Chain A
Amino acid sequence: MVKLDRINLSNDGLTKFFSPIEARIMQALWEHKELTTPEITEMTDIPLSSVAGTLDRLVKAGFAKRELDKSGPKVRYLYSAAESMDNTANTITKKVLDSLVDTFGKVAIENFHTYHDKK
């Protein structure tokens, strides 16, 4: 649900941090510079009824951004990822690490060192 307090460690890939629909939409946005709503529904193969609400949530959470395009015969949204995939990964990682250090203090830091040394 785009909220890092609901991380699900047993899920695969991006669905640890995003819902499956959010993950598919974000993947499409990272792979393309700009997408319209119909393009997102087509690429993700998710119906508009599910995509629309999810896009609102992703924009509100700051992962996606949108601009209103008034140049054509109809108004439309143009969506893009707020940050690159690497920057988003960086933000998520920092938040997770902060949370672990907040909760476990020294033990968490010692584990990071052990992990770093093993690598």
Chain B
Amino acid sequence: MFLILDEIGCYITCISDSGLASLIGIALVLALLMFSIYVKTEKPMARLSSFVAGQLCVISAIVIIVYVMQCSRMLSIEIYTGYVTISTALVLLLPRVYSRILIRRFDARPISEIIDWPQEFVDELEIKSEVYYFDSAIPRAFASGKAIFLSVGILELVDTAELKAILAHEVWHLRHNNRTPILRQLALMSFTGNRSEDELEMLADMFAEKVVGKSALESARAKVS
């Protein structure tokens, strides 16, 4: 306890003597604002951007503090810098790595090797995403990172209109980054909650209905669920 108080006293002295206290204050207030947006907002992309922006503000404040510090009592800053570096790297890298892991785990192949139109259909929905198929009779479809995965089982089961509904549903997940572990990761790291799975599925279905119509969506849902 004495050490921490000592350290705080050291920070106050060094920062107030440096004349850069206002700049540090602005960076920290901005960080606080960004973290408040992260906690309050419901839009996945806004959550992600505000979290990263908040972390960047804190890093800026830390850089200035390190620059003005005249002594070596900076253990708390070192710990926080470690946390920010590791968590930001995880948040940025995990979705890309996760897709690669899934492709390898399912031994997935590009769907254009067996059917042409699903990749073209996804491209038309203006999202940069690869569609893959994998060897399994169990009807399954899911999206992760930048990829959509379909089992041969689902290709056997549904017709063209129904498959379009499924692809549109998964495209919605990719567009909103919900199926990637990013937001769950953030929720865990920042000790905050995330939107429920049911709500996300409903929103993805609403988008699919807009793209392909209600009947295709309903028959696809009836077959897959």
Contacts and interface: CB of A to CB of B under 8 A. Distances in A.
B137 A75 contact: no
B138 A52 contact: yes
A76 B138 contact: no
A109 interface: no
Given A68-B114, A70-B114, A77 B138 contact: no
A13 interface: no
A75 B138 contact: no
A37 interface: yes
A118 interface: no
B156 A75 contact: yes
Contacts, number: 36
Range of interface residues on chain B? 10 to 19
Interface residues of A, number: 16
A52 B139 contact: yes
B115 interface: yes
Nearest to A54: B137
22 contacts: A36-B156, A37-B156, A38-B156, A48-B139, A51-B137, A52-B137, A52-B138, A52-B153, A53-B137, A55-B137, A56-B138, A66-B137, A68-B114, A68-B152, A70-B114, A70-B115, A74-B155, A74-B156, A74-B159, A75-B156, A76-B156, A77-B156
Interface of A: 36-38, 48, 51-53, 55-56, 66, 68, 70, 74-77
